[in-house]
Chains A and B, each alone.
Chain A
Amino acid sequence: MSTAERDQGRETGQDEVRQIYDPVADTPSRYRRSPPEANPPLDYPPYKSTQTRHPKQPLVYLPHTVTEITGPQLQQAVRLAPTDSDLTVQHGGEPIGERIIVSGHVYDTEGKPLRGTLVEIWQANAAGRYAHRWDRWAAPLDPNFTGAGRCETDANGRYEFTTIRPGPYPWGNHYNAWRPAHIHFSVLGRAFTQRLVTQMYFPDDPFFPYDPIFNSVRDERARRRMISTFNIHETRPNWAQAFNWDIYLRGPAATPFEEAF
Chain B
Amino acid sequence: MIFEVTPSQTVGPYFAIGMPYEGGHLIVPEGTPGAITITGTVYDGRGEVIPDHLIEFWQPDGDGRFVDVHGYGERSTLDGFRGFGRYGVEDGDGTYRMLTVKPGRVPGPGAGALQAPHIDVTLFARGMLNRVVTRIYFADEAEANAADAVLQTVPAARRHTLLAQPVDGGYRFDIHLQGADETVFFDL
Contact = CB atoms under 8 A, between A and B. Distances in A.
Are A and B subunits of one complex? yes
Interface of A: 23-24, 27, 32-35, 38-42, 44, 47, 49-57, 59-74, 77-79, 107, 109-111, 116, 120-122, 124, 130-135, 146-150, 184, 186, 190-193, 195-199, 213-214, 216-217, 221-223, 225-226, 246-251, 254, 261
A61 B44 CA distance: 23
Q: Is the interface of A mostly helix, strand, loop or mixed?
A: loop
A23 B71 contact: yes
Nearest to B46: A52
Interface stretch (B94-102, B117-125, B165-173): B117-125
Interface stretch (B9-17, B31-39, B139-147): B9-17
Interface in B1-32: 1-19, 21-24
A100 B23 CA distance: 31
Given A55-B132, A78-B21, A72 B7 contact: no
Contact of B1 (A38, A52, A73, A111): A111
Contacts of A44: 129
Nearest to A74: B84
Nearest to A61: B187
B133 interface: yes
A62 B135 CA distance: 10
A218 B5 CA distance: 14
A181 B157 CA distance: 45
Contacts of A246: 6
B128 A65 contact: no
A63 B158 contact: no
A160 B121 CA distance: 29
28 contacts: A27-B72, A40-B7, A40-B130, A42-B130, A47-B10, A47-B127, A49-B126, A50-B127, A52-B46, A52-B178, A55-B177, A59-B186, A67-B59, A72-B84, A77-B21, A77-B84, A79-B22, A124-B14, A134-B14, A135-B13, A147-B17, A148-B17, A184-B11, A196-B8, A213-B9, A213-B10, A222-B7, A225-B4
Given A54-B178, A193-B188, A62 B133 contact: yes
A248 B129 contact: no
Contacts of A64: 109, 188
A211 to B, nearest CB: 10
Contact of B69 (A72, A214, A216): A72
Which 6 A-B pairs give the minimum distances between C-beta atoms? A49-B127, A122-B18, A65-B108, A148-B18, A52-B45, A72-B84
